[in-house]
Chains A and B, each alone.
Chain A
Amino acid sequence: MAQAPSQSELQEGQIIAPGHSFGTITDKIGSIVQARRTPKRWWTGFLIGFTLMMLLFLTIGNLLARGIGIWGNNAPVGWGFDIVNFVWWIGIGHAGTLISAILLLLRQRWRTSINRFAEAMTLFAVACAGLYPLFHMGRPWFFYWLLPYPNTMELWPQWRSPLIWDVFAVTTYATVSLLFWFIGLIPDMATLRDRSKWWIGRVFYGILAMGWRGSAVHWHRYETAYLLLAGLATPLVVSVHTVVSFDFAVSIVPGWHVTIFPPYFVAGAIYSGFAMVLTLAIPLRKMYKLEDFITDTHLDYMARIMLTTGLMVAYGYGIELFMAWYSGNVYEKGLIANRLIGPYRWFFYALIACNVVAPQLLWFKKVRYSPWTLFVLSLIVNLGMWLERYVIIVVSLHRDYLPSSWGMYSGTGWDWSMYLGTIGLFFACLFLFIRFLPVISIFEMRTLLPEAHVHTEKEAKP
């Protein structure tokens, strides 16, 4: 095994440290999975996630026994933490698909070292998101009523409802993300199978590799399939958050019934997703010393995307305020007044501070090249995006048309425990993924090396 090069040789704009060969890339990523000992820090992280996941199961058990009355949802505010968290999680998921699909189509080669765990993040975030509407149903054992199937009640889903579109959008998204992630893993499974010194490893990774052997014919079809999937996932990811925004925009609630919602939601989703990728990437590269592959340049690029989408989101907030005034509609104006000076005004100001003011620091190169500042900023943006959904949902619902039906809302302890629980589920799954599957795509990293590119006869004889 050759000596891995040091971080100091890395220059700005380089997306892989110099001095690597196909072998050192394979060993560096493979050894995270096939290590002799599991690092203590892994155990610490996993156990925290696992404990919080147990809190989730406790909450769900209580919820099933006693019903959703244990949550804070009430008569004017029928959607509370459950929908806030659903939109928050599904938004986080979007960066994974953006990195793996859209950046692939745009030939952004720096995506290579972050796409694998961003896709895993997508899957786990979508799993967390899916729990909320499921348990919000109250009787989740009847979830299959959402699906079109011939039944003795002779009923069909209401196709004109965005909630049914949501079912199709989210299940399609989860399926396609899983497939995309899985086929990306196949060649790396073959690498781990062939590297494995232990028969259990060979069997485990051998089954997942499905007999992959790197044949040129296979690679050719594989690349075609991967590119087509990227092309399919790109409109899909845009459609998913568009449909999520339709859940609001198709209704007639003031503050929801606006046409800017779809693009504004998609930008917000990418914004929060990149924030979460940074939240995960910075400690991960530290923990496993992956600075060779996830370089400061990567963090810089991600920070720039965060800044761009953050500005789009800020534009969205501005347009919301402007349209309410410009519409001349008394209810829209009332909603904005309530947002700015009503009982939940501090949520709104905190949201502006987190999502609009704080990210302006990203204009400075020094900030973009300082990992721990970026880490703190990414946490702030994650919080800000949660507040955004809280403001959109709770503040719009608690006071709509009739003052007689106004009310207040706050999450209960069980709302918080469910939220913390899904964070636990997310991190427990993520730590298991880091331990058992290659966290960076090994075969795609190999293609970053200059010796991966060949000159063919055709080029020689034009």
Chain B
Amino acid sequence: MIPQELPPYGLVAEFDSAQALVVAAEKARDAGYQKMDGYSPFPIEGLMDALGHKANILPLLVLIGGVVGGLIGYSLQYYTSIYSYPLNVGGRPYNSWPMFIPVTFECTILGAALTAVFGMLGLNGLPEPYHPLFHVERFALASRDRFFLAIRAVDPKFDLIQTRKFLESLGAKEVTEVPQ
């Protein structure tokens, strides 16, 4: 069976400095491109703004994770000490809340930390063993010392020839078509 010809994933442009990538992202955003992403070997402050992406919901999720963890921790102790097996220890109240603080605290931290890590991975869609950009040989340098700007074909303004010209005008070292 002959594999069906798929439309390309998009175009990726290579830059040799973080500054060049941010400037290019700002220009592409101002030119009306939306479906694009920058790639760099380290986090670059301001690149998210330059790309026109909005803030993320991770902090809210972590807050919820922490509150849920804490509630689970406290209610576990409350249920076992008051309903399941009330035990008089030295005349202390069944609901000895000061003594329940350490476990509640640890459960809060655990809930929040697990949410932070797995929330980050989940929102980022990782693990993701396959990605079209891995077809581009030079893209391996994105984890070393090169900076890339990718504009996806799904962008309404995307045009294989026009967008390539536009990226080249931004001072890209090389513009490559990325297969699907």
| A residues with CB within 8 A of B | 21-23, 26, 148, 154-160, 162, 164-165, 168-169, 172, 175-176, 179-180, 182-183, 186-187, 190-191, 193-195, 206, 210-225, 228-229, 232-233, 235-236, 239, 243, 246, 443-444, 446-447, 451-458
Contact = CB atoms under 8 A, between A and B. Distances in A.
13 contacts: A168-B103, A176-B110, A187-B42, A191-B144, A195-B143, A215-B38, A221-B123, A223-B43, A228-B62, A235-B105, A453-B45, A454-B22, A456-B50
Contacts of A452: 18, 42, 44
Contacts of A458: 46, 49
B56 interface: yes
A211 B106 contact: no
Contacts, number: 215
A21 B105 CA distance: 44
A13 B180 CA distance: 49
A452 B17 CA distance: 8
B25 to A, nearest CB: 8
Contact of B134 (A175, A213, A217): A213
A327 B37 CA distance: 67
A22 B17 CA distance: 10
Contact of A229 (B106, B107, B116): B116
Nearest to A26: B144
B109 interface: yes
Tell me the dominant secondary structure on chain B's binding face: helix
A449 to B, nearest CB: 9
Contacts of A446: 41-42
Contacts of A193: 143
B178 to A, nearest CB: 12
- Residue of A215, A222, A243 with highest tally of chain B CB at under 10 A: A215
B17 A451 contact: yes
A22 B144 CA distance: 7
Top 5 nearest A-B pairs by Cβ distance? A211-B128, A210-B127, A22-B145, A225-B120, A456-B46
Contact of B109 (A159, A172, A206, A457): A172
A155 B145 contact: no
Nearest to A242: B102
A165 B59 contact: no
B113 interface: yes
A179 B65 CA distance: 15
Contact of A218 (B19, B44, B62, B124): B124
Nearest to B84: A156
Contacts of B112: 228, 232
Contacts of A239: 102, 105-106, 109
